[in-house]
Amino acid sequence: MRITDAKVIVTSPGRNFVTLKITTSDGVTGIGDATLNGRELAVASYLRDHVCPLLIGRDPARIEDTWQYLYRGAYWRRGPVTMTAIAAVDTALWDIKGKVAGLPVYQLLGGRSREGVTVYGHANGETVPEVLDEVAKYVDLGYRAVRVQCGVPGLDATYGVSQDKMFYEPADAKLPSEATWSTERYLRVVPELFAAVRDRFGFDLHVLHDIHHRLTPIEAGGLGSRLEEYAPFWLEDPVPAELQEGFRLIRQHTTAPIAVGEVFNSIWDCERLIREQLIDYIRATVVHAGGITHLRRIFDLAALHHVRTGSHGATDLSPVCMSAALHLDIAVPNFGIQEYMRHTEATDEVFPHGYRFADGYLHPSEEPGLGVDIDEKLAARYPYEAAYLPVNRLMDGSVHSW
């Protein structure tokens, strides 16, 4: 059996997705997510122009060899575009291998380590009372964990706070929109938010919060210290991760669990953070960290150092990526939690899938392979639409982390 075709499909059923579809000489197909939010066409071109021609004639069963061929053979290694492209190929090959074996992918990864995958939803609002009402909705749906974000008083917009609460999409304009940020006001409102959530819902509900890289290490350590009495499940992305020594400073000032990694592309981006136990959850994803093959390596390293998984699962990760993540989540021993932002009805129609939500857990499909497909005719009805994530500026006008 050989690869006979590799096709890149770009579609926008409410937001942009890039999908790679590989076909073999036996007619078996596999798909992989290749979406890089705000830079989708860069990956589409990388695949079409530089990767797809290399796949024709290769043995689809040689997943590890193909991964190494694409990673080592390009000379220019790593980076979000390259690793997202490799991830798409890798995921599609795992899909094919599962179909040929007649088994869901998680069985090929060693089988179940748990019965279901604990997920968290996003509860957000302009005010603290609005957030509480959104938390209540998720609790009623059966969620065991909820991320809470609220507007910052005095600011016109806050990243993470949306109008459409269930189907939040932050990429909102053909050119990046700009918003103003105040760290001082943010640090005042977050403890109020956590206090209100615990007062209404108690301590059985897991409560998470995303800082979006906006603080300095000492600011993050101080915030974590103030929130410890409210037992946060984690504080996500407290600081930009380029200077990783900053996480050591955070550790010196708080015991609040730290999560990071949704923008990481390889094991080398997080090796130090994991090995020195400077984080508690690694949030790297199948689509942006080199596929199932490479993300499993990251998770295995994390398992040796008491770090659990907490993969990113925003709406810019298609149902293909979500399905792949669930197969890995259900199998690895150090699973922590999975982000689950629901896709729109249009997206679910373009990407029919077998995974399901019940009682706070997501369950992977039991179909051979990943258990997800793409309706190409329907996808063609939704052409690409340029969309970018917003940019934040401080009160004095200087560009800040978003």
215 CB contacts (<8 Å, ≥6 apart)?
A: 183, 223, 238, 239
User: Which amino acids are annotated catalytic?
Assistant: 159, 212
Burial of 345 (0-12, 13-18, 19+ CB in 10 A): exposed
In the numeric block, which tokens belong to residue 119? Answer: 């997920």
Burial of 383 (0-12, 13-18, 19+ CB in 10 A): exposed
Token pair 């890039």 is found at: 18
CA-nearest of 310, 323, 206 to 264 is: 310
**What per-residue string of b and e applies to 82-103 under the rule 16 or more CB within 10 Å gives b?**
bbbbbbbbbbbbbbbbbbbeeb
Strand 308-309 relative to strand 178-181, pairing: unpaired
